[in-house]
Chains A and B, each alone.
Chain A
């Protein structure tokens, strides 16, 4: 008799499970602001799709990449939607690890995606991932400080000008550095910046025969320029600074200029977090007379692993999260400035967005200036702007990044760092069977 209520409870629980047999979609994602916002807005999706249940795995970028790569490469099948960069998409698509995103509904309007972004996510004209947000790189600078230095920022500054301006804006007594740049080692940290910078100096990672090029004058010039500039006009401890650290420095008014991802523009112009929001303006990523502005192009994208057992539900979610409606939903809840940037032409044509986001135009200009199929003025066998889209790059880029970080910290000369980088890259290419 005593068991009775428990039994009834158990039966009804089972009945409930049976009736609401929801399909579960497990989403692996990165813990940046836009993705966290998406998680908070998913009620809209679950209201429209009551039979789909969402499970989240939110991790910091490096752990996420490691987890997702291990799982997809071993066909572990843990995730139905993964958040990956445009670095992984072509590599994984070629291994048939990703489900092609064909048959998206007409209102999704694939043709609205920015061509540069779409091209980076397609293999043989088939789309393998949907962009959530995209970014290029540009100069963010303090209008008040550059004025004080008696200079004026051109629309397309050269490195020479940047060097001069950075030194002129530096004011050590007031703890203001003329320029803040990434120094923390990592293929997605200092090497993203340095690769783009080297591109603009006319350097390239490899020649057409996959021979590493760190022994060329272009690399030497670029790295030498970087180290000297940072020593003269950079903040102390720059070799530990990544995107986050520089963002905070800039927001606190300690940098005259900062060259980094365009996505930072919305943070530095947000008066709630930034003390300098009123005095920020933007310019194109510099060049060294090559007409090449670094070709930085990055996007965070949603893709569906081929091992997923809920592909249709996953596709419905991916379509929702990267749709025009989602952008409108964010705008409605948090204002237009918070809309995920850099993926759709329609966003940049939207007058409301243009008005709310002072950075809309420079962002679009930067993205249009980037061409990941021709990163350098010299011919290359690879694609990718601030990275090289080969599987070996994560490790190689990080190792080279360590060397350049050591050069910045003054523990190694620029020549030694370049020589060792050349040696490491040669070794790694041989290992990978490139030559």
Chain B
């Protein structure tokens, strides 16, 4: 009886969010799509004209294009691996009875509260700087040549910084999931003679599957968009070694001021992101029931 009414009500309640997001998506997206077919450079506005597929052609023939896609994937996968594996280990550790649990937890989640440019500046100057950074000080102390992180391992350095920012998030979610694990089940498994590894593999990990899925999904969305850390530290180099897709678009938009090219890049990024999302949903989506 009430079903029709509630359904209408439900639609009405959903409407503001859906409509707002539709507008927020469609207006910029259609403008972007439009610009992507135009010769439009901010610094030369008189020269605006229809460009056909030229912007797309220029964007994907950019010498940095393929490498930027590879770098994007390495960055996303690398950070996911570190945060998920590290997060699981850390969550298990923090789930043990320890002294000062509250403080430990506060310390571990703190990097999540640091804004990306600050995180990048701190790592670049204070930690990884080849001359005055803490890492260089330690290297010299033990008598090895300090590593010039951003020149020798540019992408790895970015992965480390971004992983540092997201490890707390993964740890928190996995810890919460771990706390809901039935301890009786675990004890029963222990009685049956299952060792630590077996218990982890057959009991803990399946229980965490859903939480891991959530971590992967949320982080992927944010990791695809990483650019501030790159801008502050390596500027995409040396060469194109740390240029990802988001940074390549950034460079096209705010260094070349090539609105047409950046728009084409934006459209390509959306398509790739959606392919990745589809793939992700196939691979892990079933965990979300």
Contact = CB atoms under 8 A, between A and B. Distances in A.
> Does a CB–CB distance below 8 Å link A and B in the complex?
yes
B123 to A, nearest CB: 13
B166 to A, nearest CB: 24
B16 interface: no
Nearest to B128: A240
A396 to B, nearest CB: 8
A200 interface: no
B238 A394 contact: no
Interface centre among B44, B236, B256, by most chain A C-beta atoms within 10 angstroms, is B256
B257 A239 contact: no
Given A186-B235, A236-B148, A95 B256 contact: no
A257 to B, nearest CB: 18
Contact of B239 (A394, A403, A433): A403
A412 B257 CA distance: 28
8 contacts: A237-B130, A239-B151, A240-B129, A392-B256, A402-B238, A406-B239, A408-B238, A412-B238
B251 interface: yes
B146 interface: yes
A423 interface: yes
A116 B146 CA distance: 44
Interface in A180-197: 184-186
B136 to A, nearest CB: 9
Contacts of B182: none
A420 B45 contact: no
Given A69-B42, A237-B151, A402 B256 contact: no
Contact of A70 (B235, B237, B254, B256): B254
A382 B44 CA distance: 17
Contacts of A402: 235-240
A95 B130 contact: no
Contacts of A408: 238
A91 interface: yes
A311 B145 CA distance: 56
A398 B152 contact: no
A379 interface: no
Contacts of B144: none
Q: Is the interface of B mostly helix, strand, loop or mixed?
A: loop
Contacts of A291: none
A405 B243 CA distance: 14
Nearest to B63: A424
Interface centre among B46, B237, B256, B258, by most chain A C-beta atoms within 10 angstroms, is B237
A391 interface: yes
A74 interface: yes
B41 interface: yes
Given A239-B151, A402-B236, A411-B241, A73 B43 contact: yes
A411 B43 contact: no
Nearest to A189: B235
A2 interface: no
A31 B257 CA distance: 23
A297 to B, nearest CB: 22
Interface string B221-262: 000000000010001111111000000000110111110000
A406 B45 contact: no
Contact of B237 (A62, A185, A236): A185
Contacts of A392: 256
B58 interface: yes
Interface string A282-296: 000000000000000
Q: Is the interface of A mostly helix, strand, loop or mixed?
A: helix
A130 to B, nearest CB: 22
B245 to A, nearest CB: 16
Interface residues of B, number: 35
A431 interface: yes
B257 A236 contact: no
A392 B63 CA distance: 16
A249 interface: yes
B257 A69 contact: yes
B206 interface: no
A416 to B, nearest CB: 9
A330 interface: no
B52 interface: no
A424 B239 CA distance: 12
A270 interface: no
A406 B256 contact: no
B150 interface: yes
Contacts of A91: 43
A407 B31 CA distance: 40
B45 A236 contact: no
Interface centre among A184, A394, A402, A412, by most chain B C-beta atoms within 10 angstroms, is A402
B101 to A, nearest CB: 40
Ranked 10 nearest A-B pairs via Cβ: A237-B130, A406-B238, A395-B256, A402-B237, A391-B43, A406-B239, A237-B148, A73-B42, A409-B151, A395-B255
A412 B239 contact: yes
A240 B151 CA distance: 7
Interface string A223-262: 0000000000001110110000100010000000000000
Nearest to B252: A395
Contacts of B240: 402
A66 B254 CA distance: 6
Interface string B48-75: 0000000000100101100000000000
Nearest to B242: A402
B131 A249 contact: yes
A432 to B, nearest CB: 8
A433 B61 CA distance: 17
Nearest to A416: B239
A261 B114 CA distance: 35
Contacts of B146: 236-237
